[in-house]
């Protein structure tokens, strides 16, 4: 099955809520854990145990593992493997963007099934030009994986690039969506090439119904609500994967509380 088909089925079965597994130092401290590899492992694998059996997608942020070097990456490998074994799809949040052989190397690291970090999908940055991520797109097609492209993010710096206008008076972020519309044309039931669009971006003149999945970070603790999701995405709401980390992680290490938060978020998003 393509990633788009797997994601469509997972969201229908488990719901449209995605949990970010982001073990930053503040959360380790809140859990009473040391800010070292032992604390990282305890935190991350506890979250996997709580949420991976019940949510459609988990989204580990690679940077929080990379800061501990090779031993941190080893923990990330376990997070990926254990989450997939529990039935969750893994969207690895790496936001890579480069050109040529380097872009291909990133693709091989995260999307080739022979890699210990192989995931169902990754996030990428297209702002060296959309064509620069072609190796990642091609590798995803080869291995039935997915790619989520930064398009309309909600960080305050984003509009410097994303709201800039092209010669055809289209926003750069909107142009990214148009590239994705072409990549997903004719895909059933859902394309495998998605966009990252913030759940708190406000109004936009971009048509977000492009037959692909939408990752919407900023839901929950960062201010995004189910009403925001429906208002921003309109006809594309059914393709939206709303993402939050702190909304769930702050409840740990209580497994039941984290799991209940996933169920509650899915219920709210389903309306």
What residues are annotated to the active site? Answer: 95
Q: Encoding tokens for residue 154?
A: 């909600």
* CB within 8 Å of 156: residues ≥ 6 apart: none
Note whether 209 and 235 are within 8 A (CB).
yes
Q: How far apart are the C-alpha atoms of 54 and 255, rounded to whole Å?
A: 12
60 closest CA partner among 145, 139, 135, 117: 117
What CA–CA distance (Å, rounded) separates 155 from 30? 25
Sequence-separated (6 or more) residues with CB below 8 Å from residue 130:
149, 175, 176, 179
Strand ranges, E, within 100-225:
121-124, 146-152, 193-197, 214-217
- Mutual angle of helices 37-51 and 70-85, in 10-degree steps: 10
């Amino acid at each position: 099955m393509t990633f788009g088909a797997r994601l469509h089925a997972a969201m229908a079965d488990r719901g449209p809520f995605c949990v970010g597994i982001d073990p930053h130092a503040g959360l380790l401290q809140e859990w009473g854990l040391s800010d070292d590899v032992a604390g990282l492992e305890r935190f991350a694998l506890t979250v996997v145990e709580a949420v991976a059996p019940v949510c459609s997608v988990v989204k580990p942020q690679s940077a929080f593992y990379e800061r501990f070097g090779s031993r941190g990456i080893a923990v990330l490998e376990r997070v990926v493997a254990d989450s997939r074994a529990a039935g969750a799809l893994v969207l690895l949040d790496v936001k890579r963007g480069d050109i040529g052989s380097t872009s291909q190397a990133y693709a091989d690291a995260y999307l080739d099934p022979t890699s210990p970090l192989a995931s169902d999908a990754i996030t990428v940055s297209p702002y060296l030009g959309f064509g620069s991520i072609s190796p990642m797109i091609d590798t995803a097609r080869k291995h039935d994986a997915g790619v989520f492209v930064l398009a309309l993010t909600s960080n305050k710096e984003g509009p410097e690039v994303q709201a800039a206008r092209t010669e055809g008076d289209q926003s750069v972020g909107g142009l990214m969506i148009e590239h994705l519309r072409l990549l997903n044309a004719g895909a059933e039931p859902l394309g495998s090439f998605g966009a990252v669009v913030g759940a708190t971006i406000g109004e936009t003149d971009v048509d977000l119904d492009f037959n692909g999945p939408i990752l919407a970070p900023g839901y929950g603790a960062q201010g995004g609500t189910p009403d925001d999701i429906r208002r921003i995405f309109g006809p594309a709401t059914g393709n939206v994967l709303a993402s939050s980390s702190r909304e769930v992680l702050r409840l740990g290490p209580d497994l039941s509380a984290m799991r209940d938060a996933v169920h509650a978020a899915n219920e709210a998003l389903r309306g």
